[in-house]
């Protein structure tokens, strides 16, 4: 199995832009992250399967990249563990799609329906859009509205028009674009990716200035409508998470679903780390209560810093 040489690639990790090594195995891009442990994972693991994990693992062992561990997940809707590697259950947010009426009447509450109706009454129009310069400029304006989102630095903040246009044009062949407009102003958007088994809201963002319009709910409503048109059985968010964002998913009708993620140690160091439960990093080894506390501290810090600089 052919493995290409290493190269650098900039990706988003926990909301921050970082440079990582990448290589190609079985014509699939693989990213290598971590300092103490070099962990390999498919760059597009939400879109692509590892059909033959054993041969994939062998290729990584034989590669010059000196990989310590390989991790991959079992793409939904396969929920049962089927490989004999170390597996840990991971939470996803999944919305089964039957019909728009079913979602509207049974999956969301009247409060959310009212938010969507009020947005329409205020003049918000949500529609499919093309990736043209006007749309990209609207994206750029939203990215640069605030340096902090969800209590952490927003890694798209500060990007100019040309950078945004280049970075978000890579996967347009599998994405439908949804824009929310207030007059001529783009106040929210979503990139709805086609992953075959399900659709993925790969990017969903709304202007803080127009938070009173509940734009994100209207974007989800349009995504459900497009899933019905495309006969897509599920709308899937990568992680269930905690806090306000998980509450947003719940209000939109998403359910928490557990699927296996596999960790395959390739070196003695990785086997020791797996035994000590350090394969998810130091944060992954901390109790959930400590992680929640640290997140609250971080969120408060960035919120105060943003207020002081404004």
Which ranges in 168-267 belong to alpha helices (H)?
215-229, 244-251
The alpha carbons of the chain give a radius of gyration, in whole angstroms, of: 21
Domain ranges, ordered by start, for the chain? 7-90+261-299, 94-256
User: Tokens in use for 127?
Assistant: 């529609």
User: 94-256 belongs to which homologous superfamily?
Assistant: Gcn5-related N-acetyltransferase (GNAT) (3.40.630.30)
Q: Which of 8-22, 109-123, 239-253 is predicted least confidently?
A: 8-22
What digits encode the pLDDT tens for the residues 247-270? 999 999 999 999 999 999 999 999
Predicted confidence at residue 16, as pLDDT, reads 43
DSSP run (H or E) holding 140: helix 133-143
Give the CA diameter of the chain: 62
Interatomic CA distance for residues 140 and 120, integer angstroms: 24
Phi, psi of 272 (to 5 degrees): -65, -45
Helix 215-229 to helix 110-121 angle (10° resolution) is 100
What digits encode the pLDDT tens for the residues 27-79? 888 999 888 899 999 999 999 999 899 999 999 998 888 899 999 999 999 99
* pLDDT of residue 295 exceeding 50: yes
∠ CA 259-261-262, nearest 5°, is 140
């Amino acid at each position: 199995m052919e493995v290409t040489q290493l190269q650098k690639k900039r990706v988003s990790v926990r909301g921050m832009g970082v440079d990582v090594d990448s290589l190609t195995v079985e014509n699939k891009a693989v990213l290598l992250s971590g300092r103490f442990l070099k962990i390999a994972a498919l760059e597009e693991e939400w879109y692509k399967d590892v059909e033959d994990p054993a041969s994939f693992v062998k290729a990584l062992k034989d590669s010059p990249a000196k990989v310590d561990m390989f991790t991959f997940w079992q793409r939904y809707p396969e929920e049962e563990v089927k490989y004999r590697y170390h597996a840990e259950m991971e939470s996803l947010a999944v919305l089964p799609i039957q019909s728009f009426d079913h979602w509207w009447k049974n999956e969301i509450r009247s409060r959310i329906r009212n938010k969507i109706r009020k947005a329409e009454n205020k003049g918000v129009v949500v529609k499919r859009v093309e990736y043209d310069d006007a749309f990209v400029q609207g994206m750029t304006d939203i990215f640069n509205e605030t340096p902090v989102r969800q209590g952490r630095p927003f890694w798209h903040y500060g990007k100019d028009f040309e950078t945004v246009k280049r970075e978000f044009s890579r996967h347009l062949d599998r994405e439908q674009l949804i824009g929310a407009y207030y007059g001529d102003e783009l106040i929210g958007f979503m990139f709805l990716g086609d992953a075959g088994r399900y659709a993925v809201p790969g990017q969903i963002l709304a202007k803080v200035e127009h938070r009173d319009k509940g734009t994100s709910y209207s974007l989800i409503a349009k995504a459900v409508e497009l899933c019905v048109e495309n006969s897509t059985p599920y709308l899937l968010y990568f992680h269930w998470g905690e806090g306000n964002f998980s509450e947003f998913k719940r209000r939109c009708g998403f359910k928490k679903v557990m699927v296996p993620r596999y960790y395959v140690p390739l070196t003695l160091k990785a086997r020791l780390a797996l035994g000590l439960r350090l394969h998810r990093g130091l944060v992954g080894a901390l109790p959930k209560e400590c992680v929640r506390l640290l997140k609250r501290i971080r969120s408060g810090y960035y919120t105060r810093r943003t207020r002081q600089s404004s």
